[in-house]
């Protein structure tokens, strides 16, 4: 009798599986592919390298932190969208004429389609910002700050999609 209980328990546990990894990805076993479309930069201020930097970084993160295979289009999971904001502003003031810090913000609108579980699909904007000293030119810190913000936005996207948090 105990032998049959173990068999029933083993079958019931194996029929309802969800794959988890040490990276935090929780992807159903029947989800095998992902497609990432090129993210166009439609922001009023354009960093000409940002589209390719972001698109490649998203592909790399999904490939390195999940078991999914990249496909050209129509993946089980699909990512597409636009860079909608890339702006420099001022944060705080030392006096009425001088800003205390500059602020660089990136905003990316993502359309996520889950073809295996359509209820998890969404369209949402993610953003990140970094502050830098007013005595520093944007061009001297732009690459480093952009990489940091892209990493932050990728973590937000990963958490909202394949990590299912």
Residues in CB range of 33: below 8 A, 6 or more apart: 68, 69, 70, 71, 75, 76, 77
Give domain status of residue 13, yes or no. no
Q: pTM of the predicted model, to two decimals?
A: 0.81
Give domain status of residue 79, yes or no. yes
Give domain status of residue 77, yes or no. yes
Give domain status of residue 6, yes or no. no
Residue 163 token pair: 């990590």
**Total structural domains within the chain:** 1
Give domain status of residue 9, yes or no. no
Give domain status of residue 3, yes or no. no
Tell me the CATH number at 78. Answer: 3.30.160.150
Structural domain of residue 111, as residue ranges?
A: 30-160
Backbone angles phi, psi at 105, to 5 degrees: -125, 135
Give domain status of residue 98, yes or no. yes
Give domain status of residue 23, yes or no. no
**105, 133 in Cβ contact below 8 A?**
no
pLDDT per residue as tens, the chain (165 positions)? 555 444 444 444 444 434 344 345 668 889 999 999 999 999 999 999 999 999 999 999 999 999 999 998 899 999 999 999 999 998 876 556 665 799 999 999 999 999 999 999 999 999 999 999 988 999 999 999 999 999 999 999 999 998 865
């Amino acid at each position: 009798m105990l032998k049959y209980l173990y068999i029933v328990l083993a079958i019931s546990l194996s029929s309802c599986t969800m794959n988890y990894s040490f990276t935090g990805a929780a992807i159903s076993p029947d989800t095998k592919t992902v497609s990432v479309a090129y993210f166009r930069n439609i922001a009023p201020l354009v960093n000409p390298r940002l589209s390719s930097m972001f698109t490649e970084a998203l592909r790399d993160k999904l490939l390195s932190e999940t078991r999914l295979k990249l496909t050209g289009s129509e993946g089980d999971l699909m990512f597409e969208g636009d860079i909608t904001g890339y702006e420099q502003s001022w944060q705080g003031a030392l006096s009425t004429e001088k800003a205390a810090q500059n602020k660089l913000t990136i905003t990316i609108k993502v359309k996520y389609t889950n073809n295996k579980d359509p209820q998890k699909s969404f369209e949402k904007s993610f953003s990140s910002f970094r502050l830098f000293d007013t005595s520093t030119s944007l061009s001297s810190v732009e690459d480093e700050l952009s990489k940091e913000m892209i990493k932050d936005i990728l973590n937000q996207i990963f958490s909202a999609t394949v990590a299912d948090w």
